Amino acid sequence: NEIGQLLKLDSGTLSPLLKKMESKNYLRRTRQKEDERVVLIELTDEGRELRKKAAKIPLTMVCQMDMKEREIVELRNELNVLIEKLSRNP
C-alpha cells in the first residue's frame, strides 16, 4: 500500500509490476507474520544493482538535453504542479 501511494499506482497496476520484478529476482515478497495481509518487499542483490543503474538515468538525461539549468528547473516545477493536480483528481 505504501509503495502504491508513493508511486501513485493502484494495486491492480502495482501487483503485476512487483510480480514481474520478483520473477526477474530483483525483489523478494514475504507476508508479515503478525498480519498476513501485509506484504513486505525486500530488494535482492540484483535489485540493488538495478537501483544503482537507475539512479544514473536522470543525470544522463539532463546531460543529453539541450536545455539550460533554469529551463530544467522550470520544467521540473511544472511537472510537480501537474502531478499534484492529477493526484487531487483521481
Q: Which amino acid appears at position 12 of this protein? A: G
Residues in contact with 68: Cβ distance below 8 Å, sequence separation at least 6, in sequence order: none
pTM of the model: 0.68
Helix/strand number for the chain, H first, E second: 5, 2
Of the candidates 14, 9, 15, 41, the one whose C-alpha atom is nearest the C-alpha of residue 28 is 41
What average pLDDT does this structure show over 54-83? 91
Q: What is the mean pLDDT of the chain?
A: 91
Look at residue 77 in the predicted model and tell me its pLDDT: 96
Q: What is the mean pLDDT of residues 60-78?
A: 90
* Mean pLDDT of the region 56-64: 89
Question: How would residue 23 be classed by pLDDT, with cut points 50, 70 and 90?
Answer: very high
d(CA 17, CA 3): 12
Sign of CA dihedral 24, 4, 88, 55: negative
